[in-house]
Structure 1
Amino acid sequence: MSTELVKWIREQLDEDERIARGCSGTDWWEHPKNWVSAPQLNRVALAVHDGDRAHILRHDPARVLRDIDADRALIAEYLAAQETVDATAHPDMYDVGRAQGLEEAVRYRALRFDARTGYREEWRP
């Protein structure tokens, strides 16, 4: 995998983290009559449609931050696995397969950003 892909994904994660932290990073709570709120911040939003309310509750800033942490851990695991393969004259097939599998996982995770500026078709799994 290209180092450009890893760099680009990290930039996307950094931007998403910046936005999520700007929203407070707290969990949103559901209230009757289609209201959702972040009570710790005295923030309330009205979601007119049930689907909108469900989406806000499911994809609150706290969850986005957890997803970002998981993606960063996945990238770190991939880089460590690839480093092991690169540092060994005759790498074990387990190590090669692990690195390839983690690379594929990183490429799939990058797909959610494919509409953003800078995504390259060559990165598609």
Structure 2
Amino acid sequence: MNVVELVEFVEARLAEDERVAREAIVPDRPGTHWEWEARSDDGDPESPLWLRTVEEFPTTSGVGDLPGFPLGYECTAAPTPAMGHITRHDPDRVLREVEAKQAIIEKLREGDLRKFSGLLDAVKLLASPFSDHPDYQKEWAL
């Protein structure tokens, strides 16, 4: 097994995740936490929902902070498990996960592979969610 290829594969996938998460953060309105919210307070389950940032943003008009900004998407269904999944995996959380996984790879690079077989297995496990990627090699599976 080529350990260098395995590490490079995982690093490339982490770089993709990091890029996508950073692209989701608009520089002038850097919302990193998201939630689904009803557009009206009437309690009607058919009220449109919108995805908005949890962070508040100051305005220059003097009206105070805005409660967040919505994405240009709304739906009229009640929140679904998929909506909860989307908001749970917001850009900030993805960036923390990327950082933690990069630290595992760095520990592997620092050590002698014969002494750190557990870390090598950990990197194989980090690669496993990407087993459907065309560059994934079956020999990396545990």
TM-score normalised according to structure 2 size: 0.68
- Structure 1 CA distance, aligned partners of 2:7 and 2:122? 12
- Structure 2 CA distance, aligned partners of 1:71 and 1:37? 28
- Structure 1 CA distance, aligned partners of 2:103 and 2:74? 34
What secondary structure does 1:31 align onto?
A: strand
More relative contact order, 1 or 2 (CA 8 Å, 6+ apart): 2
The count of aligned residue pairs is 112
- Please list every run of at least 4 consecutive aligned residues from structure 1 whose deviation after the TM superposition is greater than 4 angstroms: none
Q: Percent identity?
A: 32
Alpha carbons 1:35, 1:53 under 8 Å: kept: no
Alpha carbons 2:9, 2:127 under 8 Å: kept: no
Structure of higher CA gyration radius: 2
Answer yes or no: is 1:102 the counterpart of 2:112. no
Q: Larger % of helix: which?
A: 1
- Structure 2 CA distance, aligned partners of 1:28 and 1:124? 34
Unaligned runs of 5+ in 2: 26-30, 39-46, 56-67
Unaligned runs of 5+ in 1: 86-95
Find the counterpart in structure 1 of residue 51 from structure 2: 36
TM-score normalised according to structure 1 size: 0.77
Answer yes or no: is 1:26 the counterpart of 2:32. yes
